[in-house]
Amino acid sequence: MYLPQVIIIFTIGAISAGLLTAVIIPYIKHRQFSQFVRKAGPKSHFKKEGTPTMGGIAILCGMIMGILLDGRMGPSTYLLISITLAYGIIGFIDDYNKAIKKNNLGLRAWQKLLLQTIVATIFAFSIVNGMKDATLVYVPFINEYIDFGSMFIPFVIFVVLAVTNSVNLTDGLDGLASGVTLIVAFTFALIALKLGNDNMTVAMAALAGACGGFLVHNKYPAKIFMGDTGSLALGGALVGAAVVLKMELIIPIIGLIYVLEALSVIIQVAYFKVSGGRRIFKMAPLHHHFELGGMGEQKIVLMFYIVTIIVSVLGYLIAV
């Protein structure tokens, strides 16, 4: 494959997701599948209540459309689509419960974690049984592949759960998760292109394009949110491609924003418990900390985009 082909696939994904998002917004509004804002969240977000959600459906369709129209598919493509759809379905169930019950609870935490763990476990075993040299993992900076052996399956399960939930936490400002994931997915497309993996190049280019098409409607002020349907599916797609490419340890570099968002929550909760109610951040995840510090939503999103571009360039150079 060549870069112009990657651009074409990106464009197909973008047009498909953009058009479908425009079509489903009125339908979702009519069905009243809308966002409910956490009362504990920033007060500035209350105005977002009632915005259509579950827009992740359009991202999934845009990604799949880009893959199908290109036609380059193999066993790894089916694995990637499977984990993406599986996490998208978990997110859809959660979103649907929220919309029907008219609250912001959805699935219970243990239910969501159990479903995610089952999917991650099936995916890990599928990788081991279906790929050559499956247990090899590229280790940055030393530029070597290390065989994780019997530790590979628990390692993959951990990485899948960590990435999917980190992407989910990042979805808190208009255009944040969709824009950051566009950059991360396109970087993985370029890494896959350099490594000669056409299947993952196509899938990640299509995903990046789908995020771009959705971003047209999701940028501030958002006309639609992706919901857990989108954020969990995006995490599944990214981590699925990383595992196939043996680039699991590149994710913390390219996906630094995801890592910081998740760490801010972990640190906040841990410190709150050990300190008897004190907080390090004004609010977690991290983007809310900047919001309550007086930074505008668009400035925060732009800052996170810039950071992601910088670390993506670094991650690409390390990976190839």
Which of residues 35 and 108 earns the better pLDDT score?
108
Residue 239: per-residue pLDDT: 98
Segment 260-269 shows an average pLDDT of 97
Q: Of the given ranges (39-43, 268-272, 299-303), which has the lowest mean pLDDT?
A: 39-43
Query: What φ, ψ does residue 171 adopt, rounded to 5°?
Result: -80, 75
Omega within 30 of 0 (cis) for the link into 252: no
Residue 39: per-residue pLDDT: 58
Segment 4-8 shows an average pLDDT of 95
Residue 30: per-residue pLDDT: 79
Segment 83-108 shows an average pLDDT of 84
pTM for the full predicted model = 0.94
Segment 167-191 shows an average pLDDT of 97
Given a cut of 70, is residue 115 above it in pLDDT?
yes
**Which residues on neighbouring strands pair with residue 34, listed in sequence order?**
52
d(CA 73, CA 296) in angstroms, rounded, equals 43
Domain positions in the chain = 3-249
Given a cut of 60, is residue 319 above it in pLDDT?
yes
Residue 50: per-residue pLDDT: 79
Segment 228-236 shows an average pLDDT of 97
Find out whether 199 and 76 touch, Cβ atoms under 8 Å: yes
Find out whether 77 and 199 touch, Cβ atoms under 8 Å: yes
Residue 104: per-residue pLDDT: 58
Find out whether 234 and 222 touch, Cβ atoms under 8 Å: no
Q: Of the given ranges (22-26, 27-31, 42-46, 261-265), which has the lowest mean pLDDT?
A: 42-46
% of the chain at pLDDT higher than 70: 94
Determine the 3-state secondary structure of 242 from DSSP: helix
Kindly report, residue by residue over 247-258, the tens digit of the pLDDT.
999 999 999 999
Residue 49: per-residue pLDDT: 76
Tokens standing for residue 34: 């809308």
Determine the 3-state secondary structure of 283 from DSSP: coil
Residue 32: per-residue pLDDT: 74
Residue 46: per-residue pLDDT: 65
As a whole number, the mean pLDDT across the chain is: 93
Find out whether 209 and 22 touch, Cβ atoms under 8 Å: no
